[in-house]
Structure 1
Amino acid sequence: MKKITLFFVCLVLYNGKLFAQQLYKMDVPKLVKTAFLKHYPGVIPFWEKEHANYEAAFQQNGKATVICFDANGNILQTEVVIAIAELPPAIMLYLENKFTNYKIKAASRITKADGTVHYEAEVNGQDLIFDTAGNFIKAVKA
């Protein structure tokens, strides 16, 4: 049952990512696998490659998590699925002012390698990216 749940979560996380490619563990560079295991020993992730980077998706503390690595095993960012209610109020206000009849399909907190935190809200087929103060940064096709 856990594998089915993780698979479903991974599908949700990767919904719309046209350039992502599912990988077998043996296709992931050793530096990337070693870096992952250093931070998450004993965790078995679902691997994908997007452009030149490698993404490991797994459950952590009951939340779907994706870690993005470069080919040298450096963590580029960590994305954790959050409840829509966990989005900062300023983001909700922005959405109410800019969209009519919108529905947030998914939400996540993204932490970049330098510690910068962004929030993502999937709305109307777009991933809307915000800073921690709720300021809109950009939209990316989901």
Structure 2
Amino acid sequence: MSITSIIQKVALQIGAVVLLEPEYKLVGHITFKNGKRSVFSYAKLNINGLASAELVKDKAYSNFFLKQLGYRVTEGKTFFTDQLCAKIAHPRNIHDGFNYAQSIGFPVIVKPLNLSQGILVTKVYNQAEYYDV
């Protein structure tokens, strides 16, 4: 039984509601009967803020939860290296990213998932620039 399914089972027993990120089902937030919320990330509960800190570092997870809470967020998807694609359930590689960019139309903004504060955020106008980034 996964940690997520254990959290869902316990939440049901105590009358709490769990909102899971739908693609990987590893990150979520719990709304308790009293209205308080707590997040979890993988097996980390938000006892000391660790789960929240991890959640906000991931752009895709952050966008999902902010949108669920009624905030406007940017459109986008995440794409991964071939090495990471081999390890995850729903892989999308750099070539899928290019196809997505074509489908929404250039220019697009490319952001690395593992960096912050605008480092290496780039506006690309065509295929050559996309693959250079």
Interval of TM-score (by shorter of Structure 1 and Structure 2): under 0.3
Whichever structure has more helix as a proportion of its residues is 2
- Give the TM-score normalised by the residue count of structure 1: 0.26
Higher RCO structure (Cα 8 Å, ≥6 apart): 1
Whichever structure has more strand as a proportion of its residues is 1
- Give the TM-score normalised by the residue count of structure 2: 0.27
